[in-house]
Amino acid sequence: MYLTIKTIHMTCALISFVGFLFRSYLMVIESRWLNHKVVLITPHVIDTCFLTSGAAMAFMVNFGLFNQFWLTSKITLLMCYLFFAGMALNRGRTKSIRVASFFAAVATFGYIVGIAVNKTPVSWFS
């Protein structure tokens, strides 16, 4: 059961990130598709599945949030990623702020993946 939920979690993470890249592309080219109902609703459905599966995995292995520092780091960086993604897609006032936020979001996501793979807060630098 754990491996099934982990697979769902990793798949949702990948789909969510690819969706972010796609929506960022639509933002850069100023496409009207960015405001299409499917493009607006789908990320919320995927992210809900992603976060639910992550919480289910944490409960299945009885992780304490502050007992596992790598997990605490991962959750904190997830909040940073959401901030940068929000700035990149619609909250940035100028296109240069949005582009800078895009790169910050991509770097944060890469760091989160490193934490998940290595189970240490130093991510890929361990």
- Helix, strand, or coil here: 69? helix
Contacts of residue 93, defined as CB under 8 A and 6 or more positions apart, other chains included, come to: none
Residue 34 in contact with residue 23, Cβ under 8 Å?
A: yes
88-111 b/e with 16+ CB inside 10 Å = b? bbeebeeeeebeebbebbbebbeb
Provide mean pLDDT across the span 101-123: 93
> How many domains are there within the chain?
1
Domain with 50 in it: 2-125
- Tokens standing for 104? 């910050």
User: 67-98: per-residue pLDDT in tens?
Assistant: 778 888 988 999 999 999 999 998 888 989 99
Q: Which DSSP string do the residues of 4-44 spell out, in sequence order?
A: HHHHHHHHHHHHHHHHHHHHHHHHHTT-GGGGSHHHHHHHH
Give this prediction's pTM: 0.87
Going by pLDDT thresholds of 50, 70 and 90, the confidence category of residue 65 is low
